[in-house]
């Protein structure tokens, strides 16, 4: 029996809907993780970026900065300057380099490739975004640790989040994953808060940095390992090839 064009279209739509339902039922867990791990952070970054681009800022930025500044003391300032220092140039950057080299030394070439792309890519994204948005630093008071580059998004926030997220990805199939998430999460929050306390970043700079970096690292993991996190201790990105076999010891 000859079907009309309308019936063909309806039949095709129903078939597509049934296939979509089967796909979601079979893969709802990784899809949900992808939504929360990559989708939501990207939405958050996009929303903040749109406000910065179109209106020059976010309404809650200045009130938060002024509230935090009201609680400034010399002792707190010293602590925040230290946290800020280790949150990038004197902590995150050298640690990222050491971890990358360490992965190569222990012959984990695939993990080293993931690490390099995750950390290096976050840095490139940060500089690209700063040059694109060209947002000026806050000027509500004289900062005890002034900065002279662009503000959006925060490089400290992106760097610390990239470090912690990449560590969590690699540690996921081990018992150390919760330590990486818990301690790393506290460290990332402290670094972000230190930048607001010191008056060198708007809160939206920090949140945008966290969001962009989390989405980037988990996206790289999805490409490298086929999961948002490393599925098995010996899993390695296909592009890197298999890790070299361990060299036999002198006594064997």
Model confidence at 63: pLDDT above 90: yes
Of 111-120, 135-144, 177-186, 198-207, where does mean pLDDT reach its minimum? 135-144
Task: Look at the block and give the residue holding tokens 């707190």.
Answer: 76
Mean pLDDT, the chain, integer: 84
Whether the Cβ atoms of residue 150 and residue 134 lie closer than 8 Å to each other:
yes
Calpha distance 74→178 (Å, rounded): 34
Give the mean model confidence (pLDDT) for residues 26-53.
71
Phi and psi torsions of 250, nearest 5°: -65, -25
User: What are the domain boundaries of the chain?
Assistant: 34-238
Neighbours of 244 (CB within 10 A): 9
**pLDDT for res 171:** 92
**pLDDT for res 186:** 96
Model confidence at 26: pLDDT above 50: yes
**pLDDT for res 246:** 52
pTM of the model: 0.81
13 vs 135, more confident: 135
């Amino acid at each position: 029996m000859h079907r009309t064009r309308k019936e063909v279209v309806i039949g095709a739509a129903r078939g597509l809907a049934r296939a979509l339902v089967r796909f979601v039922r079979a893969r709802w867990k990784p899809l949900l993780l992808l939504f929360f791990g990559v989708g939501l952070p990207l939405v958050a970054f996009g929303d903040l970026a749109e406000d910065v681009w179109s209106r020059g800022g976010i309404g809650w930025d200045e009130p938060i900065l002024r509230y935090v500044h009201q609680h400034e003391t010399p002792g707190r300032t010293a602590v925040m300057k230290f946290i800020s220092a280790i949150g990038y140039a004197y902590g995150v950057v050298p640690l990222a380099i050491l971890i990358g080299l360490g992965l190569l030394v222990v012959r984990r070439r695939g993990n080293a490739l993931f690490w390099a792309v995750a950390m290096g890519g976050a840095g490139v994204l940060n500089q690209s975004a700063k040059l694109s948005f060209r947002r000026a630093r806050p000027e509500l008071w004289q900062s005890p640790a002034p900065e002279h580059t662009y503000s959006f998004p925060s490089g400290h926030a992106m760097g610390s989040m990239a470090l912690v997220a990449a560590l969590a990805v690699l540690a996921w199939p081990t018992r150390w994953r919760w330590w990486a998430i818990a301690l790393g999460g506290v460290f990332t929050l402290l670094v972000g808060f230190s930048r607001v306390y010191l008056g060198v970043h708007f809160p939206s700079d920090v949140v945008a940095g966290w969001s962009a970096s989390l989405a980037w690292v988990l996206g790289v993991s999805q490409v490298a390992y086929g999961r948002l996190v490393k599925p098995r201790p010996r899993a390695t990105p296909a592009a890197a090839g298999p890790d070299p076999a361990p060299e036999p010891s002198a006594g064997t």
